[in-house]
Structure 1
Amino acid sequence: MSVTVTDLTKLYGEQRAIDGISFQARSGEVLGFLGPNGAGKTTTMKILTCYLSQSSGTAEVCGHSVETDSLAVRRMVGYLPEHNPLYKDMYVREYLTFAADANGIRRPRPRIDDLIDMTGLGREAHKLIGALSKGYRQRVGLAQAMLHDPEVLILDEPTSGLDPNQLAEIRVLIKRLGSEKTVILSTHIMQEVQALCDRVVIIDRGKLVADDPIDRLQRRLNGDTSLLVQFDREVPHLELLTIKGVSSVKPGKEPYAYRLLLRGDADPRAEVFRFAVAKNCVLLGMVREELSVEEVFRALTVAG
């Protein structure tokens, strides 16, 4: 495992910012790290990047302890914090050269050229950072986080301020990086989680409340799943209950639409099609319903 967190706790006086959380982030995956404001996400990320020390528990990055081997951890991690700290009076290429020097990178120009191209900064490379839009500043921060080719990338709201075109480009980049490295992604944009993440960890008020692949998390909260079907005419509820795997039937919002509640992992789609043929009616639509990531998040976290 690239990142392993075990019983991690951080106290501020008597307040538990994080309270005994444990999770792992694996190489070759994008881990969504979610929680409402004040849940402890940023505190956890700062411990993983050695900006803060834990009160108890352990955290390891690529086998190195953040407590006893912090220099090795810093070499393994690239970090883009939510409030991207940049020197606004420096030019983009100048800043990246400065950051490369701080990381001890010899002959950094080829790496900087690659990152400028990778993050779409080509036309902005000779501009002052202070003259860039927020979206382009985010790109500079992302390039800086990747300069030393880290094994682990920790990204806190990396797409903040990006327009839709920029957003699509950076999502593709993050997805590609996730196939090569370990990426821990914190965001409040639930569509982004759905599009990018292989697995989700959710914390609320310092405690871990979920650690699952997205599809398993949705099934766990749904209990029985449902199938929304629509015919070209009315079908008696009792007849729909004869379909194998259907436990109950509820009316849908559209005309002649029905929500079929399914038992366990039942998949009666082929049976529904045969049912329509047998009843000499047209099947207009059939969609398996799942909770969105936003609904999962709201179900698992405490409001306010």
Structure 2
Amino acid sequence: MITRTAEHRERVIQGALEAARWAPSVHNTQPWSFAVSGEEISLRADVDRKLRLGDPSGRELLISCGAALFTIRTALRCEGVEPVVRVLPDPDRPSLVATITLGEPAEPDDRVRAMGRQIERRRTHRAGFTDLPVPERLMDGLVREARIEGARLTPVRAPVAVTMLAALTQAAQGAQSQDRVLTLEVIRWARPPGSSRRDGVPAEGYPRTAPPTDPDFPQRDYAWRHEWGSEADLSRSASVGEVALLTTTGDTREQWIAAGQALQRTLLHACAHGVSAAFHTQALEMYHLREFLRHELCSDEYPQMIMRLGITFDDKESVRRSLAEMLQ
């Protein structure tokens, strides 16, 4: 039986939940809420923040919640506590993603500490990268990190495969841009300059017009029909960086959560080495394109994320809701 003072327990849990706020989520929707009972944290999916057109199955919502779950685990380990996790513990409460209980004391190793230091520093990049290469040794390390969480990260190095992924992203972005209702759902999460909202993508967080990469991986059009967004240097093409696919062997809710945990683990590890990530989920939101990708490039595994990894010196703003807003 572990004896903890109330003050110690409160400090550890408070720190873990403060850290979880910084997990990545689609359009920075932050689709989660928390509840605390004694030494147990409940992580719940906030379905009111789900993208009802872009993510009707809730796949991206649960990937986002999986990223928050891994962040809680990492923060607890940094405090010397081993978390005891139950994923989807109650079939009668489908929004209950996981429970995390404070377990045995455990001294964090250097890798856990390094990831913990990146939780509030990590940023999603929404443009091209510099020409500085991502070390191959680091990419191999990211592959191992994803595997620990039950997912596969595959660097896409064949030029023809990179071109195919870019073309699928272009096709999906083109189709989605013609759907006015879906576009309105996306720009609902684009914050105007000076906005006091603490969710969504800040105007400074995406370029008004992104410099094209070669091949071009288009970004979401957060600046649709307005002049928001940051200025970008359009005089030259930006580097694609290293393209990678995150996949799982199945496509269940458990595996979506596992994909989210693997995603955050790789992002924090990459950030600790000065590498950022840009995400491209447009093709994964269209059934036929996702199936084509699964069969042609993913060896029949299910693609959960298309990303580009690279080095950038941009220091973009990010915003998060207060913990009080997330607690139930």
Interval containing the TM-score (normalised by the shorter chain): under 0.3
TM-score, scaled to structure 2? 0.25
TM-score, scaled to structure 1? 0.26
**Structure with the greater relative contact order (CA < 8 A, sep ≥ 6): 1 or 2?**
2
Greater share of residues in strand: 1
